[in-house]
Amino acid sequence: MRFQLTPRGFLPGLLLLLTCLMVMVAASAQGDDALPMEGIEALITGQEGDSDSLLHQVYERRGFEPAWNDEATLAVFIDALSSLADDGLDPADYATGILQEEYRQVQATGTALQRARFDVNATRTFLLALRHLQRGKVDPFAIYERWEVPIAEVTLDPMMVSNAIDTRQFAQAFADARPAYPPYERLRSALAKYRRIQALGGWPTLPSRDQSLRPGETHEDILLLRQRLAMIGETMLSPTDAPDMLPTRYDEALAVAVRRFQERHLLQADGIVGPRTRAALNVPVEARIDQIRANLERARWLLHDLPDTFVLVDIAGYRLSYFRPDGQIWRTRIVVGQPYRQTPSLRSEITHVTVNPTWTIPPTILRQDVLPQVRRDPGYLARHRIQVLDGSGYRLDPFSIDWTRPGNVILRQAAGPGNALGQVVIRFPNQHLVYLHDTPAQALFAQEQRAFSSGCIRVQQVLELVQHLFDDTGTDQHLASLIATGETRNVPLSRTVPLILSYWTAQADEAGFVTFRPDIYQRDAPLLAALDRPFFLRDER
């Protein structure tokens, strides 16, 4: 038998079998007599795989005695469940709407079996909420084809669970279950802030306008712009706040606020409110709330057991950060994969660096990008110092190849000036064969949104990153000398360095301001659909 949790707008099919408890009353006597054992132990013992479950361990430590013995405990529990909305979860997934009434009905008229069922199901609800906070509600492997980050194996202490019920410390148990990293708590605070804005009716919308708003202008839309930014704390709103301010004039203080907004939304920070800035300002607060909720779920997937030293690639933010035990010590810009050649999310270990790399052109790039160039321009290969090889690695004469049907040739670009991988490649095991690397196309780092690669990650100031890796791992190599030889060489690190490639479309800083990024790979929609889907559990009896 399956029970559907009740989201808003659905018929009340509720979590943990609660909706049918009273339906069983008429047949209860016969059902009770048929049980080989009575009460709670009968419900959770003898099921396949259940004897080793956390639920069994919780009740075993209690001697299979009831855990939910008074309505006051249940009221505190329901209040704690309701607070999970601050984590972007839906309290309806945990039957908050009917738990208390079901308890009253079962205590008043229910059979021993029905009371036992309610007790077990309430405990299951508690365990479910704890697991959702620790690991997330949604299984990323079920919604993303290119997901390679293992979800942390989190073990709950059955004694802690039992004690939390007995002492009504549900809020503390939930707090302990959340990711213990500042970015998560900052996103929770941001969610509360944006929901307060939603409760006020949201922010004003700037009307469409052929011309941009520029510093120094006076226009009635500037008052709306000022109101919009004031709602998220970017600028002061009224002459009461700033006596010298003319609300409809685009003054320098407002221009500073607009530039900050543009920076946080990966827009050109020029202070000009053109079409792209206007579009970002006009995104409804409800959409921003959903964006925060999606990233809270990502945080629950990822922010567990982070190593002391690691490299973090923020794909949608186009940033790479280097962390040591005392926090972030270095950051730089990156270029990531285009939407049709996405950089994957994964977790791996940096193992070695290739100095003066050659570049063997991957089959997809060869087929879609290089071959059309070669067919149009026979001199393309020579200009780019690309050699043609057969499957055994022997060089072939490019003019002897029928480029309309080249067969299984290999194209390899020689190391040195103009090589697509630059001077160094940073390598780590992964099935997609992506890596971090230098690039001769340095001008792309000046762009605010940088999804230009074929999946690999191009790193600005990559030699500094390599030096950090050498220093932190005790790798005794002089990078400049290695490059100066011009020879291709693999340099193993003395020990590996953890690497995380992750995708975040919203992050909050220490001051509470949220950076919203374009969802370049359209990964938020499937996550939100799964997050909002009503949850199902099966009766285990």
Quickly state the pLDDT bin for 51 (edges 50, 70, 90).
very low
The Cα 438–Cα 138 span in angstroms is 36
Which pLDDT value is given to residue 39? Answer: 79
Give pLDDT tens digits for 436-446. Answer: 999 999 999 99
Pairing outcome for strands 327-337 and 457-459:
antiparallel
Over 70: is that where the pLDDT of 177 sits?
yes
The Cα-based distances of 438 to 357, 415, 421 in angstroms read 10, 12, 5
Catalytic residue (one of 352, 437, 468, 478): 437
Measuring CA to CA, which residue among 485, 476, 493, 479 is closest to residue 424? 479
Who has greater pLDDT, 360 or 244?
A: 360
Question: Can you name the residues that pair with 249 across neighbouring β-strands?
Answer: 218
pLDDT value at 219 more than 90: yes
How many angstroms separate the CA atoms of 460 and 445, rounded?
7
Confidence tier at 3 by pLDDT (50, 70, 90): very low
Q: Where are the beta strands (DSSP E) in 430-513?
A: 436-437, 451-453, 457-459, 489-502, 506-508
**Predicted structure pTM score:** 0.87
Cα 381 to Cα 400: distance, rounded to the nearest angstrom: 13
Contact criterion met (CB below 8 Å) for 135 and 301? yes
pLDDT of residue 391: 84
CB atoms within 10 A of CB 159: 11
* pLDDT, tens digit, 9 for 90 and up, residues 369-419: 999 999 998 789 999 999 999 888 889 998 888 888 888 899 999 999 899
Mean pLDDT to the nearest integer, 193-218 = 95
Burial class, 48, CB count within 10 angstroms (exposed 0-12 / middle 13-18 / buried 19+): exposed
Question: pLDDT by residue (tens digit) across 287-342?
Answer: 999 999 999 999 999 998 899 999 999 999 999 999 999 888 999 999 999 999 99
User: Who's near 511: CB < 8 A, 6+ residues apart?
Assistant: none
Q: By the 8 A CB rule, do 494 and 471 touch?
A: no
Of 254, 277, 274, nearest to 266 by C-alpha is 277
* pLDDT tens, position by position, 111-158: 888 999 999 999 999 999 999 999 999 999 999 988 888 887 778 999
Share of the chain above pLDDT 90, in %: 73
pLDDT of residue 9: 37
Look at residue 46 in the predicted model and tell me its pLDDT: 55
32 pLDDT above the threshold of 90: no
Q: Decide: 7 and 90 in contact? Cβ < 8 Å.
A: yes
Is residue 33 predicted with pLDDT exceeding 50?
Answer: no
Please state, rounded to an integer, the average pLDDT across all residues of the chain.
88
Report the pLDDT value the prediction gives residue 393, as an integer from 0 to 100: 84
In the predicted model, what is the mean pLDDT of residues 506-516?
Answer: 94
Q: Could you tell me the sign of the dihedral formed by the alpha carbons of 101, 103, 108, 112, in that order?
A: positive
Alpha-carbon distance of 424 to 415, in angstroms, equals 10
Q: How far apart are CA 369 and CA 382, in angstroms?
A: 16
State percent of the chain over pLDDT 70: 89
Q: Known catalytic residue: 20?
A: no
Q: Please give the average per-residue pLDDT across 185-199, as a whole number.
A: 97
Q: Each residue of 251-284: pLDDT tens digit?
A: 999 999 999 999 999 999 999 999 999 999 999 9
Per-residue pLDDT, 176? 95
- DSSP SS3 for 410: strand
Q: Is the pLDDT of residue 47 over 60?
A: no
Is pLDDT above 50 for 16? no
Mean pLDDT for the stretch of residues 84-104: 92
Q: Which of 56, 132, 265, 456 is catalytic?
A: 456
